[in-house]
Chain A
């Protein structure tokens, strides 16, 4: 390394120092600690005691007295979160993209439409959970009131019926797609006009133009939103914590809620850390899968 390079390195690291310090103390160190706790029995009151893979064994493999293997609450929260993700993630991706297409049309009142669709995404998660809890109220809520007015005598208890609770939470998540819509809109506006004109001259209809021009051109944005959605979906916490507290019958016990309860209600900090590592690996595996698949469907135009 030449002297010039050395001074440059010094300068660079000096500017990076706040982040470097934060990274080492508030990210790297906690991750290593967490890995240590994950292999320990740690109740916060008593220091961590190394127990190897016992937490993971208890979580996934050990024969359970009630039949089956592992911790039933863990598996339930995995299933619940997966079920939610299967509903909310594709629905969110499609609804936000569809809305962005509509909002991209050059029509009167475009600004007002955009504002209205964006606004709900500003509502703090706790407030929207409180609001939707009231909307879903089985006796006096907005939805069941409307259904009764339409002649339905016995509409379901959206948050009290185990079959409906999870779909209701997934449906509600669509209310907050505004953020994603704005990102798509910016992507759509970057698609060169000429491409549409050329496609039209070649006789491509609207559906063909959507699949052959629009989607390939905004595929990097779709990919970005997919990654963000994966990371966000696997961590859902606030809304079910406020709205249902995991009820009814554990049907809305999300992964992060189960983790939080283990850590701060039962003080099973070691077990909770093991759960956190499983969550981290799941995020990495799924985003890794998305990155791997992106070679096949994400198109980067070289500008």
Chain B
């Protein structure tokens, strides 16, 4: 096979030479393009207003001005600490609820044989196609109705944003079900013969084995809560209750233009926790995304 002249990409590693260099060159250029916006953000976040107005701009600000981060940390309109706390409350409650509920349901879809299972599973998958706007107005009405009928306030609280997670989400159930399918049935059969209840099998045998998949689901749920904008925009009214997305959005519409150094520092603060999570669980993260597309 060595006499073929044109080398395919998949064979580059074995040959090295010119083709490998071409791939390197292509990737270096693309990566530079992908990095540039982030570097620009870091750069702007370390400048004073005057420095952001300079032409031509300096990529490395002189002097560096880290004060922006401190200003934004407790800014009166973009109160990072408060907004981060609010977002964290929603995200953590969603993660816990979604992991519990989705794994329970996934167990039903993978380890118990019953009539209509395939049909219900197909129904569940098809709900992933429903655009949120279709549900938005009705959900708003439902939550308002709950508030009017002595079920405690719903609108203007975090409940509409995290309670639904406790019923599981189609995407997470699908992911966990795919994982449970790879656990051999002999394990649960043996436990069943020993007189273990179905819930006991789920709780004591399957769930401990599913830790990697649960980490993936947890990470995805966390990210979804952390990034969500439309949800909080519909349900949250009070500025004290803003999530980071809402807060940053409002900060932008009030202070766009001359406040770009603050906006970039605020964005950096919002991205940082996600990046830290990513680097802590890089492998799990990538594998999780990969499995969603491939094993479908």
Contacts and interface: CB of A to CB of B under 8 A. Distances in A.
A123 interface: yes
Interface string B187-223: 0000000000010001000000000000000000001
Given A134-B260, A206-B9, A283-B129, A185 B271 contact: no
Given A106-B12, A125-B229, A133-B252, A18 B167 contact: yes
Contacts of A183: 289-290, 292-294
A106 B278 CA distance: 24
Given A30-B138, A276-B134, A179 B289 contact: yes
Contact of B4 (A103, A126, A200): A200
B23 A235 contact: no
Interface string B211-251: 00000000000010011011001100000000011001100
A214 to B, nearest CB: 8
A15 B249 CA distance: 40
Given A201-B1, A279-B133, A11 B112 contact: yes
A16 B267 contact: no
Contact of A18 (B113, B166, B170): B166
A107 interface: yes
B168 A131 contact: no
B229 A210 contact: no
A254 to B, nearest CB: 11
B101 A221 contact: no
Nearest to B293: A183
A193 B256 CA distance: 52
A26 B139 contact: yes
A115 B41 CA distance: 18
Contact of B131 (A16, A134, A276): A276
A287 to B, nearest CB: 6
A235 B1 contact: no
A103 B27 contact: yes
A256 B37 CA distance: 27
Interface magnitude class on chain B: 35 or more
A26 B7 CA distance: 54
Contacts of A241: 229, 249
B53 interface: yes
Contacts of A104: 9-10
Nearest to A186: B290
A107 B19 CA distance: 10
A130 B30 contact: no
A283 B132 CA distance: 12
Nearest to B105: A19
Contacts of A185: 290
A262 B57 CA distance: 42
Nearest to A222: B293
A26 B44 CA distance: 43
A183 B278 CA distance: 17
A294 B233 CA distance: 37
Contacts of B170: 19
A31 B35 CA distance: 42
B31 interface: yes
A135 B101 contact: no
A102 B27 contact: yes
A117 B292 contact: no
Given A124-B271, A187-B293, A145 B135 contact: no
Contact of A119 (B20, B38, B56, B102): B38
B167 A22 contact: yes
A120 to B, nearest CB: 6
Nearest to A183: B293
A102 B294 contact: no
Given A132-B37, A196-B8, A242-B252, A1 B115 contact: yes
B109 interface: yes
A149 interface: yes
Interface string A76-108: 000000000000000000000001011111110
A73 interface: no
Contacts of B56: 145, 148-149
Nearest to A172: B37
A179 B8 CA distance: 24
A56 interface: no
Given A27-B135, A130-B252, A284-B129, A119 B275 contact: yes
B216 to A, nearest CB: 12
B9 to A, nearest CB: 5
A225 B292 CA distance: 10
13 contacts: A13-B114, A15-B112, A16-B105, A31-B135, A34-B134, A37-B138, A44-B141, A104-B10, A126-B227, A126-B249, A185-B290, A256-B131, A263-B136
